[in-house]
Copies of this chain bind each other. A is one copy, B any other.
Amino acid sequence: MTPQDHGPGFCCADHSGAANVTAILTEAETRARAQGARLTPVRRRTLEILLQAHGALGAYEVLEKLSTEGFGSQPPVAYRALNFLVDHGLAHRIRRLNAFTACAHPGHDHRAAFLICESCNSVTEADAGAVSAALDQAAQSAGFHLNRATIEAVGQCSACRDSAA
């Protein structure tokens, strides 16, 4: 894997802007409280790390950052925080990459699809409304009761196609 680096704000403009970060953190705090959960320092900082990252981060990458900042240094520290975020709709797990990414649209329930660029490794969260509807349909005709779905697409983002051309 030889990811290209497009620099800040290029691949994932949705959530990498510094201005958005604090707004999303505040939103997250509110949302967590509403669900009776606490956005503790580790959790908050973990979300912040994901928000500032381009593409998705592995649990151990997150862990490294956390541990250099005085948080715990063992895997469960990262996994717990990440799972918390996922459970509360503040982050997503990207299974194909064994990695996590901040949710670009917290605040409303939604089904997301992820567009993973093979060139620059960026992950874009796309609205999966129509995809999800089609999947519901397919599940239903198989007599399957659908709870959750993972939709991950691999290909090349527009930025990388342009720079390759």
A interface residues, Cβ below 8 angstroms from B: 95-96, 113, 115, 117-118, 124, 126-128, 130-131, 133-135, 137-139, 142-158, 161
Chain B's closest residue to A115 (CB) is B144
Give the number of copies in the complex: 2
The 6 closest A-B pairs by CB, nearest first: A143-B158, A130-B134, A131-B134, A146-B155, A95-B95, A149-B153
- Chain B residues lying within 8 Å of A137, measured Cβ to Cβ, are 130
Cα-based distance from A148 to B148 in the complex (angstroms): 20
- Chain B residues lying within 8 Å of A135, measured Cβ to Cβ, are 113, 128, 131, 151, 153
- Chain B residues lying within 8 Å of A152, measured Cβ to Cβ, are 95, 149-150
Cα-based distance from A73 to B134 in the complex (angstroms): 42
A37 CB to closest chain B CB (Å) equals 23
Chain B's closest residue to A150 (CB) is B152
Complex contact B153–A148 (CB within 8 A)? yes
Complex contact A139–B126 (CB within 8 A)? yes
Complex contact B134–A144 (CB within 8 A)? no
Complex contact A138–B150 (CB within 8 A)? no
